Amino acid sequence: MKAILNILLFIVLILPQAGSAAVVDVKNIRVWNAPDNTRVVFDLGSSVKYKVFTLAKPDRVVIDMQGVRWTGKLDKKRLLGKLITNVRRGTPQKNTLRVVLDLKEKVSPITQVLKPNEVYGHRLVVDLHRRERKVKHQAPKAADKAKARIKVAIDAGHGGEDYGAPGRRYHAHEKSVVLGIAKELYRLIKKDPDMDADLVRKGDYFIPLRERTRIARQKQQADLFVSIHADSYKNTRASGSSVYVLSRRGATSERAKRLAAKENASDYIGGVPLQNKDPVVRDVLLDLSLTQQISESLDLGADVLKELGKVNKLHKRSVEQAGFVVLKSPDIPSILVETAFISNPKEEKMLKNKTHQKKFAAAIYKGIKHYVKSGRIRKIVAESPTR
């Protein structure tokens, strides 16, 4: 066999805006570590021509950006982690910035250029996906035991590039407070002999909305899905907890519609490569089985809302519905909890506070517990592999 070619991947993208002689500065670089991928984000003054390729022995990713300059400090400590062991930069040609990432293992990079939005300017995003590893088979006995329990997938909203809604007074970020509540809820459910739990997002990194439902249903084999968020509104007096479920068409209120649009913007802010988008055909098929899911979710949502009413005032007395992408699992009850308004300084303080995070988590837990105990939940014990 011939010597293995060093260059594994080679991408060239030419954007229409690029090509001017002006030099673009790298304003910032961020790294987000997820369990199976690491995201590297370059904040740029405008879109650029780039090339990304990998080299082996040792494993590296090289990012060449044309007409780009990076004169700022290279704060390595902030960039190194589970995957990246070193960062170097150079100028292989005049007007070309080269960034070399030394890696612990081989990766498949997926690169995208994101246009400015409300939060960020031009970004070059390089997602370094770790290669698939062999999945160890669980002992059948343990698997059977786990199957007998109701598995709850806990989805902490936002993460990484997507900060979610900002607090107004105490510098809280939605992505952090909801992860705190999610971890508390996880702890409570894990202690329950009738239930089991998994966190969809385990740290500070971004997961596309469709990927969240996929992780919950396929990877974690969950029976219930709970997405945890914090609300915000321009009027800082808006307050209270609310619970949402999916709507097949139309929203139950103008507010629910606006909120769904805001939560669905997550993918737009976080940046989802085209490869991750589901084909339209699948969406149509999903819609057919949603009616039962929605009616079950309304029951679950009502139980959770009732308990939330004991730890916080309620923003609305009933469960609302709108087209939340993250709730589009066809066969498992799925709810989205807006724990409190992070835009309201009083509630922001509560959301940041560990004791209050525990109270929110306990309320959600009790609501789920009540629903599970009522026997209204279908427990999937066997299924075809097409799920």
Q: Where along the sequence are the contacts to Zn ion (CB under 5 A)?
A: 157, 164, 229, 263
- For residue 221, give both structure tokens: 């084999």
* Neighbour count for residue 191 (Cβ, 10 Å): 10
Nearer to Zn ion, 49 or 229 (CB): 229
Residue type, 183: K
Least distance between Zn ion and beta carbon 174 (Å): 5
DSSP state of 94: T
Distance CA 216, CA 209 (A): 11
Nearer to Zn ion, 103 or 340 (CB): 340
* Cα diameter, the chain: 70
Residue whose CB is nearest to Zn ion in the complex, by number? 229
- For residue 295, give both structure tokens: 């009616």
Question: Taking Cα atoms as reference points, which of 320, 290, 318, 300 lies closest to residue 376?
Answer: 300
Nearer to Zn ion, 195 or 340 (CB): 340
Least distance between Zn ion and beta carbon 12 (Å): 36
How is the beta sheet containing 84-90 ordered, strand by strand?
10-13, 50-55, 60-66, 96-103, 84-90
Nearer to Zn ion, 155 or 223 (CB): 155
Q: How does 280-319 read in b/e, with b if 16+ C-beta sit within 10 Å?
A: eeeeeebeeebeebbebbbbbbbbbbbbbeebbebbbeeb
Give the C-alpha distances (Å, rounded to integers) separating 150 from 38, 197, 215, 300, 387. 31, 8, 16, 13, 18
Least distance between Zn ion and beta carbon 164 (Å): 5
Cβ pair 307, 198 in contact under 8 A: no
Helix, strand counts (H, E) of the chain: 10, 16
Nearer to Zn ion, 62 or 260 (CB): 260
Least distance between Zn ion and beta carbon 240 (Å): 16
Nearer to Zn ion, 247 or 343 (CB): 343
Least distance between Zn ion and beta carbon 122 (Å): 24
Nearer to Zn ion, 62 or 251 (CB): 251
Residue type, 286: L
Cβ pair 324, 244 in contact under 8 A: yes
Distance CA 272, CA 274 (A): 6
Nearer to Zn ion, 109 or 159 (CB): 159
Q: What are phi and psi of 147, to 5 degrees?
A: -65, -30
